[in-house]
Amino acid sequence: MTWENSAITITTLLPLVGALVIALVPKGQDRLIRGLGVAVTGVALVLAAAIAVGFDYAAPGLQYVLDVRWIDAIDARYHVGIDGISMPLYVLTFLLSFLCAIYTWRYLPSPGRPKAFVALMLLLETGMAGTFVAFDLILFFVFWELVLVPMYFLIGIWGSDNREYAAIKFFLFTLFGSIFMLLGFLAMYFRSEPHTFDILELQAFAQAGGFSRGFQVVVFGAVALGLAVKVPMWPLHTWLPDAHTEAPTIGSVLLAGIMLKMGTYGFVRIALPLLPDAASAYAPWIGLLAAIAIVYAALACLAQRDLKRLIAFSSVGHMGFVMLGIATMTEIGIQAAIFGMVAHGVITGMLFFCVGSIYDRYHTRQIAEIGGGMLQKMPKLGSTFAYVAIASLGLPGLAGFWGEVMALLASFRPNETLGLDPGLFRVFMVMGGIGTILTAGYFLWMLQRVNMGVLPDRWREAPLADTLAIEWVSWTPLLALILVLGLYPRLVFGMTDEPVAALMSLFGG
Amino acid sequence: MVGALGILAAETAGAPAHADVSWFVRSAWLVPLLPFLAAGLILFLGKRSPGGGAPWGIGAVGASFVLSLGVLWHVVQGGAAYEASIPWFAIGPLHVEAGILIDGLAAVMLVVVTSISLMVQVYSLGYMHADQRFTWFYVVLSLFTAAMLVVVVSNNVVQLLVGWEIMGVCSYLLIGHWWEEHENSSAAIKAFITTRIGDVPMIFGFFALIAATGFATANIRETTHAIAEGGEVSTAFLAIAALLLFGGTIGKSAQFPLHVWLPDAMAGPTPVSALIHAATMVAAGVYLVGRLFEVFVAADPAVLTTVSVVAAITMLGAALLAIAQDDIKRVLAYSTLSQLAYMVAGLSLGEEGFTAGFFHLFTHAFFKALLFLAAGSVIHAVHSNSMREMGGLRGSMPVTFRTMLIGALALAGVVPLAGFWSKDELLVVAYDTGTTWLFWLFLATAVVTALYTTRMIVLTFFGSYRGQGHPHESPPSMAGPLVALAAATAVVGFLGAPQLGAVFGKWVYVGHPHEAHVVPWIAVLSTAGALAGIAVGWLVYRDARGVDPLAARLGPLWRVLERRYYIDDLYMAAVVLPVRDRLSAAVVWVDRHVIDGAVNGAAWVTRGLARLVAWVDRHVVDGAVNGLGGLTGSSGGLLRYLQSGNVQWYAVMLFVGVIALTVVFIRIV
């Protein structure tokens, strides 16, 4: 056991251990439980940061690898490691979880029960983090499904009025998709020679032409279905607004911030390299769905009356840009996609924090009931909200810009050697451009109706407290990151450049 | 901004290749950096600083102004263009740098932006002194100045785009500065969205530039050269790229048909109108064409003809609208549209017009900033924007009157003030290049310009006072900048005067230095036109009392002007409301009833199947075993179990399904 080969395991599983420890703490110890949550996620974040610092960004391939026997009966191995594609998402997982734990120090939605809440949150953290470092399909699937259960309970127990419908819908939708994904994994296992679930071995097998085109097309369809539900791609997105709207604040933050990226990450890590021929064949269709999602979600946002539902729908559009980047099958497009994932995680996570705190003050999420003038009563919260919303509409200089503009740039000339039609992708590009205009429209209109204007009389005497110290603590890292990523995109592009180039070399270019 | 920081590192590492370049030019990255740092400083420490943080902003932009003069001095001495950069980030094949490109055009723009910003920031000390968001105002003003300066010094389109959009958001924030009023925040949104409609094509144009280098660089010189040289690029591609780029100009410089935002933007504080919506940001669209001029020149001539036509429509159309405005700021706003169109039209005349267009940008910045700040001084005194409530202020506001008169005469093109020289130069170029139709349009618009300018001056300063209270002259912090700008307006025109060597043409040109020359009959004709416009204005308005004499005479035509040719109404009825209210509602309906309907339908079918299975189980299977009857009572429990949507049950069902499907799947593939 060295740090090199055990770092990932320790870091990833630490929250799981934390959850078990919390299970042993007596129920009444509320502060202790929440404190443990902060401590465990904090230590995990430090470990993840240590991994990121110790990582050699110039070297190709995986680092911090541990590859040992796990379930011999099905040749499943415990194979974990990390590269520049995983790194930003892995670190973001620990950062957002830590900030959620801090936020939970003050905010615990009804019906309380901190023990279960914190334990589930930690369980979720392990599941999400594990997904980004698993290099065995079964291990990947275990982490993938592990996420489902805690999120189901977080929505179903701590959610708002329509929580049960939303939780069941979320669970079934995702499970429905995962089943097809698992089928695809099994098919690859049985078709590979020798049978393996190892992602790198399957990749090599696929490179050697092991999977026929027909096989790839069928299996890609199955795997992509599972991933697409998670992203979510249009028209499989309808679970998302319900889940987000009903989920407690930290549920929404983690759902938007990390969980959606599991789907897009799966495309980059599994679907593309393992099934390259099919990926090229499906790319125009993925691009089409992505472009539709961008415009469709923006239009839907214009009609939303519920603040949280509006932000939820905006995620569908932003993930559309991520998928559009992937669909171009170019280095620029895929790097843009990874940047977009990180940026969306930071920005939309932060937006859900804001909306959660707004709800905490007003006890309503209806834009009409809030009625404007928030800047008068709560200038700090209002300014923060405006800053993040403007970041989300893709203002250059802030994080939201690079993923979107680079995805559009990639669409200008998709990978023509793979037979992608530039004319078609330029249509997608124009749709994306229209989407950015509509996005600016709905965000600014939202700010006008929530932030600006005169405070309605009903709130004049209400005890609406401006941003609290604990909120500043949990938000400042994200607010700073939005600016830093915006001004210095190399922070992410520097990580993804090498591995994405390696990925694209699988496609002969 | 970060780019500038990087260059600092590069410079400290030493750049002996440019040892002959003056320190000011090598340090040009400091020009945008100082206001940027000031913005951060004021944001975090402003409220605790003396003067609410304003001294930080004024100090920073003052220092930038001095540096800019140093940069211009390099150009005046005939120094060569200078470019320096450091890597910013790389994505795939594309290497984006952060850098500066200093030539005559950039140097002149630096001076314009920093000097006007300095004047406006000093003026705002007085104009905004009672504002409850005084400190925030200075934050955004400083950030805007930094962003505009980033645009000016950028050596690549990505960095330019960053500055460009930050300018846009600052404009949004400042138009909506008094956001308590719904009208103001709506104007802010209108400005942001309308300009973004132009920005999206511009970004696609940038893509075309980048693509022309094989996605290798975003450097302005390299990309424009690559695309203009042709090579792999077809003529159609080049023409489309140029037109897309011009979209950014149409949006930012408020040209027809995206001009609608600028008059509404007058909802912002008047210093903002002077700085952003008259002198600098709106001129950035013109600057963009100048920066990428090689593309426009190399493209099919039809592109520049299109540019001419757009400018021509805006030029005369906006000038006519200015006649029908009652709000003094809106008169100036339509005037700005019209004058920006002069500049764009000048550039559309090719290399000859390049210098003339930018000379007009240069002179206009001073006299239009002066006019706005003077109008602000009047508004400050009478507490109204409406000229119905002004009149007779000549006596009570002598400094404002005299300085505004200088600005107005410059706008009208009266010799020897700034506007005369630049307008005359445009006329000469139009004549020289044989663009006769544009020549006559320039002249016609000049007459209309003189008319509405005279109307504005007469209604504001002559006759008797029609408003409330007793207006008095503004404080020195406001009057001082007026005097300074009036002085500038009086002299800057001589920089382009052919009789004095027209040095401006030696600083700002493409190809070879521009040689201005005098065409006496054109100078006489344009002066006659200006005087005619002034005379008509004086005759019509000298006795005007509240009601516009032209309103009755023009009848329905006046109504058309008042309704701004119904263009805003058309956009509202045909685009904004249908998209915002109806199309969005339709999408939500589809989402709820079609897509989610299918989802819920599938769930309903599944439940139905489960019920069927239960029924079969009960009636057929159990029936066969236990015989008929007696089971109805106990079966409800199972049914409820299925209908309750119990997740574990679904999960089990699905997992069984997986195994079954897996078997089938593996067999077939």
**What ipTM was estimated for this complex?**
0.94
Q: Do residue B92 and residue A405 have CB atoms under 8 angstroms apart? A: no
3-state secondary structure of A107: coil
Give pLDDT tens digits for A54-90: 999 888 889 999 999 888 888 889 999 999 999 999 9
Mutate to test the interface with A, among B91, B207, B649 (most CBs of A within 10 A): B91
Cβ neighbours of residue B107 closer than 8 Å, sequence gap 6 or more: B68, B71, B72, B74, B75, B507
pLDDT at B231: 66
d(CA B527, CA B617): 101
Cβ neighbours of residue B651 closer than 8 Å, sequence gap 6 or more: A171, A175
Question: B residues 186-205 near A, CB within 8 Å?
Answer: 186, 188-189, 192-193, 196-197, 200-201, 203-204
Residue B626 has pLDDT above 70, yes or no: no
Residue B639 has pLDDT above 60, yes or no: no
Backbone φ and ψ for A208, nearest 5 degrees, come out as -80, 5
**Percentage of chain A modeled with pLDDT above 70:** 100
Residue B571 has pLDDT above 80, yes or no: yes
Closest by CA position to A329, among listed A266, A281, A400 = A281
Closest by CA position to B270, among listed B183, B357, B364, B141 = B141
Give the nearest partner residue to B166 out of A396, A438, A493, using CB atoms.
A396
Query: Average pLDDT, whole number, for chain A?
Result: 93
d(CA B224, CA B206): 10
Give pLDDT tens digits for B162-198: 999 999 999 999 999 999 999 999 999 999 999 999 9
d(CA A468, CA B667): 60
> Higher confidence at residue A148 or residue A110?
A148
Contact status, residue A383 vs residue A465, Cβ threshold 8 Å: no
Give pLDDT tens digits for A163-197: 888 888 888 888 889 989 999 999 999 999 889 99
Give pLDDT tens digits for A83-100: 999 999 999 999 999 999
d(CA B230, CA A276): 35
pLDDT at A16: 93
- Supply the DSSP string of B415-473, one letter for each residue: TTSHHHHHHHHHHHHHHHTT-HHHHHHHHHHHHHHHHHHHHHHHHHHSS---SSS---P
pLDDT at B2: 40
For A298, the closest chain B residue by CA position comes to B584
Run of H or E residues at A452: none
Residue B654 has pLDDT above 80, yes or no: no
Cβ neighbours of residue A385 closer than 8 Å, sequence gap 6 or more: A351, A354, A358, A374, A447, A450, A451
For B649, the closest chain A residue by CA position comes to A172
Cβ neighbours of residue B17 closer than 8 Å, sequence gap 6 or more: none
Count the alpha carbons within 13 Å of B220 in the hemisphere toward its beta carbon: 28
Residue A19 has pLDDT above 70, yes or no: yes
Tokens, residue B658:
């997986």
User: Quick one: average pLDDT of A338-348?
Assistant: 96
Residue numbers in A near B179 (CB within 8 A)? 375, 448, 451-453
Residue B506 has pLDDT above 90, yes or no: no
> What Rg value do the Cα atoms of chain B yield, rounded?
32
Cβ neighbours of residue A55 closer than 8 Å, sequence gap 6 or more: A63, A64, A82, A87
pLDDT at A21: 92
pLDDT at A463: 83
Contact status, residue A188 vs residue A230, Cβ threshold 8 Å: no
Contact status, residue A89 vs residue A261, Cβ threshold 8 Å: yes
Residue B10 has pLDDT above 60, yes or no: no
Contact status, residue A478 vs residue A102, Cβ threshold 8 Å: no
Q: Which amino acid is at A315?
A: S
pLDDT at B645: 47
3-state secondary structure of B230: coil
d(CA A172, CA A376): 43
Residue B374 has pLDDT above 80, yes or no: yes
d(CA B98, CA B3): 4
Residue B624 has pLDDT above 70, yes or no: no
- Alpha-carbon gap: A474 to the closest alpha carbon of chain B (Å): 19
Closest by CA position to B226, among listed B199, B239, B208 = B208
Task: Say which residue the tokens 């003038």 belong to.
Answer: A373
Question: B residues 585-614 near A, CB within 8 Å?
Answer: 585, 587-588, 591, 595-596, 599, 603
Q: Do residue A413 and residue B211 have CB atoms under 8 angstroms apart? A: yes
For B202, the closest chain A residue by CA position comes to A433
Give the range among A152-156, B408-412, B616-620 with minimum mean pLDDT: B616-620
pLDDT at B547: 73
| Beta-bridge partner residues of B98 | B86
Residue B666 has pLDDT above 90, yes or no: no
pLDDT at B553: 84
d(CA B392, CA B401): 10
Closest by CA position to B41, among listed B175, B114, B143 = B143
Q: How confident is the model at residue A161 (pLDDT cuts 50, 70, 90)?
A: confident
d(CA B321, CA B335): 9
Give the range among B271-285, B307-321, B504-518 with minimum mean pLDDT: B504-518
Q: Do residue A171 and residue B584 have CB atoms under 8 angstroms apart? A: no
3-state secondary structure of B145: helix
Give the range among B62-76, B223-237, B432-446 with minimum mean pLDDT: B223-237
pLDDT at A197: 93
pLDDT at B514: 82
Give the nearest partner residue to A332 out of B94, B203, B584, using CB atoms.
B94
H helices of A275-378, in order, are 276-302, 307-327, 331-362, 367-370, 374-377
Residue A480 has pLDDT above 70, yes or no: yes
Mutate to test the interface with A, among B178, B591, B646, B650 (most CBs of A within 10 A): B591
- Residue A112, phi-psi category: left (phi > 0), alpha (psi -120 to 50), beta (remainder): left
Task: Say which residue the tokens 């203009």 belong to.
Answer: B228
Q: Do residue A397 and residue B162 have CB atoms under 8 angstroms apart? A: yes
Task: Say which residue the tokens 């915002």 belong to.
Answer: B580
Contact status, residue A202 vs residue A274, Cβ threshold 8 Å: yes
pLDDT at B68: 95
Contact status, residue A325 vs residue A407, Cβ threshold 8 Å: yes
Run of H or E residues at A130: helix A114-133
For B581, the closest chain A residue by CA position comes to A303
pLDDT at B663: 54
Q: How confident is the model at residue B657 (pLDDT cuts 50, 70, 90)?
A: low
Residue B640 has pLDDT above 50, yes or no: no
Tokens, residue A133:
């470092």
User: Quick one: average pLDDT of B590-598?
Assistant: 89
Contact status, residue B97 vs residue B86, Cβ threshold 8 Å: yes
Pairing of strands A63-71, B82-91: unpaired
Give the nearest partner residue to B180 out of A183, A331, A454, using CB atoms.
A454
For A489, the closest chain B residue by CA position comes to B89
Residue A149 has pLDDT above 90, yes or no: no
Task: Say which residue the tokens 């539902």 belong to.
Answer: A309
How many angstroms separate the Cα of A492 from the Cα of each of A89, A342, A486, A495? 10, 8, 10, 5
d(CA B117, CA B52): 18
Q: How confident is the model at residue B669 (pLDDT cuts 50, 70, 90)?
A: very low
Query: Average pLDDT, whole number, for chain B?
Result: 87
Give the nearest partner residue to B584 out of A219, A303, A390, using CB atoms.
A303
Run of H or E residues at A499: helix A490-505
Taking the CA atoms of B218, B222, B228 and B233 in sequence, report the sign of the dihedral they define. negative
For chain A, the domains span 283-509
- Supply the DSSP string of A2-67, one letter for each residue: -HHHHHHHHHHHHHHHHHHHHHHS-TT-HHHHHHHHHHHHHHHHHHHHHHHHH--TTS-S-EEEEE
Q: Is the peptide bond before A232 cis (omega within 30 degrees of 0)?
A: yes
- Alpha-carbon gap: A17 to the closest alpha carbon of chain B (Å): 25
Give the nearest partner residue to B666 out of A187, A433, A438, using CB atoms.
A187
Residue numbers in B near A303 (CB within 8 A)? 584-585, 587-588
d(CA A147, CA A120): 10
Residue numbers in A near B197 (CB within 8 A)? 437
Residue B644 has pLDDT above 50, yes or no: no
Size of interface A-B (CB pairs under 8 A): 176
d(CA A184, CA A271): 10
Q: Do residue B91 and residue A176 have CB atoms under 8 angstroms apart? A: no
